[in-house]
Amino acid sequence: MAEWLHDAQYSLVIFTLFTQASVGAFWVLLVSDFLKRKAPDAIQDAFTRIGTAILIPLTAIGLTFSTTHLGRPQYAWRALRHIDSSWLSREIWGFSLFFGLVALYTYLWWKRIGDAELRRHVGVMTGLVGILAVLSQIMVYQIPGRPTWNHPSSFLLFGASGLILGPLAVAAVYSFAWGRLIDLKSGEETVRLSHRRLGLTLLSGAAIYGVGLLWRLNFLAAGAAAALDPKVAGKAAVGSATVKTAIAIGQQVMEQHAALLWLQVGLGVGVPALLAALLWYLHRRGAGLKLCNALIAAGLGMVALGELAGRALYYMTGRPWF
């Protein structure tokens, strides 16, 4: 395997992004389900039902990639053993449970669509488990052993990835279904409404992601500046000052891979914000939905690329410091 792929922990990049996207997508579908609770809407239900089709593949791909970095993947199940003190164990519990509940939720949509109350109960439970799983996933990186990750900005970055990727993935499925699986005319209003909501979600996600990224960049730059102060540079740090050495190493990695950072900023933050603005503008001008759908598909591709670059960079900055 190429060394840079190993450094970038490609399997964990895919695992974290796919599972976060899955939780984000699930919440979009659950909210859609609840918004129509009082006034049932068969068209919206049809879209939501089709949307649930991506939940199992997204989570399954994520979980599969969680095992590919293991030295002995055949014993991956053992990771469930240490839930009392290991966040990694809690993370695996969380996403395994989430996967099971997602499968049940999807089954209820496809095979027992009339049982809406049960579905919503399962949905709420699934959504909460999904959030707990993502929180556990973030806690895995809140470790003093890797000071470049041990920062609250990780919460914003991981959370925002789900908030951006999940809704975009659902919107792409809606775009695909409209005209193919659901009648063009009857589905138009639902798709337009979903685009307005998507725009707001993307703006929120891009804002959170941007704040998280700025916070992290500032944290790395400040730590590196302290470590490279001419008074101490070149000498071995002692005690708590050694943490700054770790941050300086992370900052150097960031500078070496500046192209990934630009991709993260441009495609991970810029594109969702731009897409939200374009959707708002095009709908205001009454533009055709096909153009909007094409933009969503292109946006999903670009955002996914930006997220992959950003997450790879995140892992690369977590170098050993001793």
Partner 1 sequence: MEKCIGCKCCEAACKDFYRMPPEIRWRKVRSFEVGEFPTALRVHLSLACNHCVDPACMKGCPVQAYTKRDKDGLVIHDPTACIGCQYCTWTCPYGVPQFDPEQGVVSKCNGCYQRIDEGLMPRCVESCLTGALTFGKVDEHAVRQRQVVTEAPGFPDPSITKASTRFAWPLKGPQPDHQVLVAPEKEGE
Residues that bind partner 1 (CB under 8 A): 69-73, 75-76, 78-82, 85-89, 92, 140, 143-146, 234-240, 242-243, 245-246, 318, 320-322
CB of 245 to partner 1, least distance (A): 8
Task: Choose between 40 and 320: whose C-beta lies nearer to partner 1.
Answer: 320
Question: For residues 132 and 113, what is the distance between their CA atoms, to the nearest angstrom?
Answer: 27
CB of 197 to partner 1, least distance (A): 38
**Contact 250/318 with Cβ under 8 angstroms?**
yes
Tokens found for residue 10? 């490609």
Task: Choose between 61 and 237: whose C-beta lies nearer to partner 1.
Answer: 237
CB of 316 to partner 1, least distance (A): 13
CB of 80 to partner 1, least distance (A): 8
Task: Choose between 35 and 88: whose C-beta lies nearer to partner 1.
Answer: 88
Question: For residues 111 and 242, what is the distance between their CA atoms, to the nearest angstrom?
Answer: 58
Q: Which long-range contacts (CB under 8 A, 24 or more apart) does 119-122 make?
A: 119/33, 120/30, 120/33, 120/34, 120/37
Question: For residues 209 and 175, what is the distance between their CA atoms, to the nearest angstrom?
Answer: 25
Task: Choose between 42 and 238: whose C-beta lies nearer to partner 1.
Answer: 238
Residues 6+ apart with CB under 8 A from 222: none
- Owner of token pair 């997602």: 102
CB of 81 to partner 1, least distance (A): 5
In sequence order, the β-bridge partners of residue 178 are: 182
- Owner of token pair 């470049």: 148
Task: Choose between 57 and 145: whose C-beta lies nearer to partner 1.
Answer: 145
CB of 240 to partner 1, least distance (A): 5
Residue 268 neighbours by CB distance under 10 Å? 30
Task: Choose between 39 and 236: whose C-beta lies nearer to partner 1.
Answer: 236
- CA atoms within a 13 Å half-sphere pointing along the CA-CB vector of 41: 16
